[in-house]
Structure 1
């Protein structure tokens, strides 16, 4: 996948309309005048400042833009800059506005089954996110057999589950960059089965559940590769498909992965909204591991928001939920990786974000000692293992323990070999940046020199 990403909605609007900054500003200035707002300067550097975030267009300039882009003026006021620009990106409208019905889910699956959307920003504003969460609770599950083509049996759904399990484990070894295309192939297959075959209501619901998991996996792969717009499109599609399946547990899993994208994207409040909505259905979630995962993500979201008490409370709730879990074989196949070690890794990351490296190392140590998680407590996912170890190295750095930090950093490099993960590469770059602050120490200087 390419590493160049479009991070601002205005960049995407200009690209899709094939406008230069100058031609765009000229048209906006013309609308500004015709709408009665007076003259408007159209120096092209305005656009670069708007995209970089060093300046925000005045409200009348935004109204003129909205008029040009055919976005209702009320949306400018309701969503704010730059979120309202997302409504001008036509290919997102079907994803965000289709009805929460089985037919609507099939329509959305058609939209997300293609090549990766390479934009690097999240597509849902705070208001849109809240609407999605509310609609999830009222989604209409499939309630009748479908009669449109050749009949398929439950064996087809079983084979799809087997294929998706294989992709999850392939992602563990290779990272999202290698698995995304395979996941979207599964989406296309499942959509065609939903739309073009005769099947019972039970089989139909299993197909929608498989679609939800395929989209969830594709969303994770896109997120892992740094394509946040595509990740969110896939998570929306996954949530819709889970609603059509009447599958609360898979829907809760989608909420957890989507929340991860929100808090790492700088929106811990949006992440908490997703997690609290999922936890409101805890009584009907069939997997203790899913509940534990939701609380672990809640701990991370609170830590990003700087809310230590709430974060540590969520850690305790995650561990308590996990204590009720049975063997992985008895649980939802998609959460085999949720172990006590994984939960301690999340707790350690939360403590590190809250400025408590000693507390973080206690949790990282517990992760290593967790027998079910193996050496590093991430259920076998090499990219995540590397990221967790990098955080452990950061904790040692924060305490001035340079030998320990370098020892862990060497293990990070070993794990990252052959894994295509933008998250992992970014984490490694941040770790090297932290080490460079201590390059006067021989052990650090040697490591940086060998890994330049």
Structure 2
């Protein structure tokens, strides 16, 4: 008979959960990470009495569930479980492991290892002082020396990958980014270079890592995205690049909101803002917009409205063009205004702001158009405007076949589930049938 797991019982008592609540929390973590689970109170009872959960990933889900509940990191040992065997590929410590992360991602036969990586709100995110000089000890190679020409090539390739992601989605572009990271950027990081060149290269690498993480989020690989984001923070710190550091934290905040972790998102958004004391108006709008979104998601009305107003004032002052990716435009601000209005109960206002976002968005951003117009249709339907929602979904289906995106796929599936109760309506039936034909193609 197994020995009771007293360590897990201590965590359970601290959590204040019932057995059923604990089971639902573990199921939720598993679902986020691609493993549908159906544990119930009986399963938790058995774990507390020493039964080892089936499946090598389940203890990690349990640990993550308690980390979220207690709002602090919980280890396998603290929960009475054996630590995971071996080192996780791509744990962000060295350039060698950065290359290892990319190598797994570019290899379809091994990509599932990283796809199973756990998204964690208990992840330790290094602050700015802790990432500065983190990579200062990178060894330089003796047989090759690089200059600004190689740095410019990394920047140009990153911008091209961003363009492909914006227009066609990241499903095909991310493996290309991983390949470039392994076969070009990795060797550059080991090559001899002047201090100025090395610093510029680390900054360009941070941009590439941020973009690759962003594309992983789009594909629903949230744990993998966190690994890329953490490495981007390290490289940005080594390059003294506040812009990419803050942009990455902001991206992590957006990822957390989309997964329903509003408090975690708020902390990340605040950390991004705190790390950019001398940000220009466009960057300030970029960060304040995310703070507004995060505070609205937590129900903090006054803070949300104050930050969205700050974003609006900063956007009015913005003049210089931002980077090709991670930039913040009036269409992005309108999207954030919509999210704040929706979270605070103004659904009609949220719809109008999403329409404004669509009017302001450049046609190049096709993937964003699919996602945000699908969201617009969902909210139009919430208001009871079925015909208008169907008209918006028609425009979504015009662009959807041209986009390879996990998030876009999810939106189309959600659209079909929302339309099924309305199939007696001719417009709804037409959109539903068209979506099925689009998938068949």
- Structures share a fold, TM > 0.5? yes
Structure 1 residues 348-398: Cα deviation after superposition (integer angstroms, max 9, x where no partner): 13433444221112212332443xx346xxxx3211111111121122212
Q: Which residue of 1 aligns with 2:132?
A: 140
User: What's the Cα RMSD here?
Assistant: 3.6
* Distance in 2 between residues matched to 1:432 and 1:421, nearest whole Å: 17
Q: CA deviation at 1:216?
A: 1.0
* Distance in 1 between residues matched to 2:378 and 2:292, nearest whole Å: 19
Secondary structure in 2 aligned to 1:166? helix
Q: CA deviation at 1:133?
A: 3.4
Q: Which residue of 2 aligns with 1:335?
A: 326
The 5 A counterparts of 1:223-234 are 223-234=217-228
Q: Which residue of 2 aligns with 1:109?
A: 98
The 5 A counterparts of 1:133-172 are 133-134=126-127, 136-141=128-133, 146=140, 148-172=142-166
The 5 A counterparts of 1:251-400 are 251-285=245-279, 287-328=280-321, 331-336=322-327, 338-370=328-360, 373-374=361-362, 380-400=364-384
Q: Which residue of 1 aligns with 2:84?
A: 88
* Distance in 1 between residues matched to 2:324 and 2:143, nearest whole Å: 30
Structure 1 residues 377-429: Cα deviation after superposition (integer angstroms, max 9, x where no partner): xxx32111111111211222122222211110000111111211111111122
* Distance in 1 between residues matched to 2:412 and 2:299, nearest whole Å: 24
* Distance in 2 between residues matched to 1:277 and 1:137, nearest whole Å: 12
Q: CA deviation at 1:124?
A: 5.4
* Distance in 2 between residues matched to 1:396 and 1:229, nearest whole Å: 32
C-alpha distance 272-369 of structure 1, shift in aligned 2 (>3 A): same
Q: Which residue of 2 aligns with 1:20?
A: none
* Distance in 1 between residues matched to 2:346 and 2:117, nearest whole Å: 30
Secondary structure in 2 aligned to 1:149? coil
* Distance in 2 between residues matched to 1:321 and 1:86, nearest whole Å: 50
- What are structure 2's unaligned runs of at least 5 residues? 10-22, 31-36, 106-110, 437-441
* Distance in 2 between residues matched to 1:223 and 1:267, nearest whole Å: 15
* Distance in 2 between residues matched to 1:340 and 1:89, nearest whole Å: 48
With the length of structure 2 as denominator, give the TM-score of the two structures.
Answer: 0.77
Structure 1 residues 247-283: Cα deviation after superposition (integer angstroms, max 9, x where no partner): 1111111111111221212211111111111100222
Q: CA deviation at 1:31?
A: 6.6
1:139, 1:240 within 8 Å by CA — same for their partners in 2?
yes
Q: CA deviation at 1:194?
A: 1.1
Q: Does 1:192 align with 2:192?
A: no
Of 379, 398, 413 in structure 2, the residue corresponding to residue 414 of structure 1 is: 398
Q: CA deviation at 1:143?
A: 5.8
C-alpha distance 153-446 of structure 1, shift in aligned 2 (>3 A): closer
With the length of structure 1 as denominator, give the TM-score of the two structures.
Answer: 0.75
1:194, 1:204 within 8 Å by CA — same for their partners in 2?
yes
* Distance in 2 between residues matched to 1:326 and 1:62, nearest whole Å: 62
The number of residue pairs the alignment matches comes to 390
Q: Which residue of 2 aligns with 1:214?
A: 208
1:86, 1:92 within 8 Å by CA — same for their partners in 2?
no
* Distance in 2 between residues matched to 1:313 and 1:428, nearest whole Å: 34
Q: CA deviation at 1:122?
A: 6.7
Q: Which residue of 1 aligns with 2:44?
A: 57
Q: Which residue of 2 aligns with 1:4?
A: none
C-alpha distance 63-345 of structure 1, shift in aligned 2 (>3 A): same
2:285, 2:311 within 8 Å by CA — same for their partners in 1?
yes
* Distance in 1 between residues matched to 2:286 and 2:300, nearest whole Å: 19
* Distance in 2 between residues matched to 1:321 and 1:122, nearest whole Å: 38
> Which sits farther off after the overlay, 386-395 or 359-368?
359-368
Of 171, 177, 180 in structure 1, the residue corresponding to residue 171 of structure 2 is: 177
